[in-house]
Amino acid sequence: MNKFKHFITPLLFVGLAVTFQSCLDDDDDKAMYHPTALVTVEPADDESFIMHLDDNTILQPVNMAKSPYGKKEVRALVNFSETVAPENGGSFRKVYVNWLDSIRTKRPVPTTDINDSKFGNDPVEIMRDWVTVAEDGYLTLRVRTRWNNPSAVHELNLLTGVNPENPHEFELRHNAHGDTNGEWGDGLIAFNLNGLPELNGTISIKLRWKSFSGEKTSEFSLRMRDGKQPQLLVEQLSDINIK
């Protein structure tokens, strides 16, 4: 069962995986149904994993030996409980994962005149919300658009190379594949910018997109991942198909 029907409605994420790590003994405990945080799930070579809470804080699950997403690094909503007092000034925390729910996570793609049309140009709104955030080298967005066909796939892509004079400028493109009418629906999408050329340290990125009221832009301050391996970090410390 998808526990997020009340959180962002209506929505359905392509590739959605819901993992329950503890029984909800008390159905009235509504706090268990809400996400505690938005994290990056980063697997290690030994099949363990850590979760990046933000640019400075690492969560280590005490009740999960392996990532439910295998070797894939993804953004996810998580509900967790603290097990011990935070260590190292709070930058490293051991937590008990109650549940973990992945977000569709993609890489930006380059655009050219040849392939531009395949990304579509349908309007989409970017919502001001706690899950619309730039951190850990990722841009995570809560988006809103109109939908009518439950089986239709709404494809979102983050395009690079849209401004030859500014490699830090990106464009969010939406291809509704003809599903452009009906009621409003929300969804989540994350883009991994780590490893892109000319992106390192803390940078300012510019995002542009076509909204239902016209062209819009926004700027985000984004700190890129430092590239250290997860194990080293630990030792040192509803109905929209989104494709």
More confident residue, 240 or 155: 155
Contact present, 241 and 12 (Cβ < 8 Å):
yes
pLDDT tops 70 at residue 183: yes
pLDDT of residue 146: 95
**Model confidence band, residue 228 (pLDDT cutoffs 50, 70, 90):** low
Among the ranges given (4-8, 98-102, 105-109, 159-163), the one the predictor scored with the smallest mean pLDDT: 4-8
What does pTM read for this prediction?
A: 0.82
pLDDT tops 60 at residue 15: no
The predicted-structure confidence for 41-80, as pLDDT tens digits, reads as follows: 999 988 899 999 999 899 999 999 999 999 999 999 999 9
Domains of the chain and CATH, by start: 12-104 (2.40.50.500), 105-223 (2.60.40.2370)
Listed residue (27, 163, 192, 21) closest to 100, CA to CA: 21
**CA separation for the pair 137, 47 (Å, rounded):** 22
pLDDT of residue 242: 64
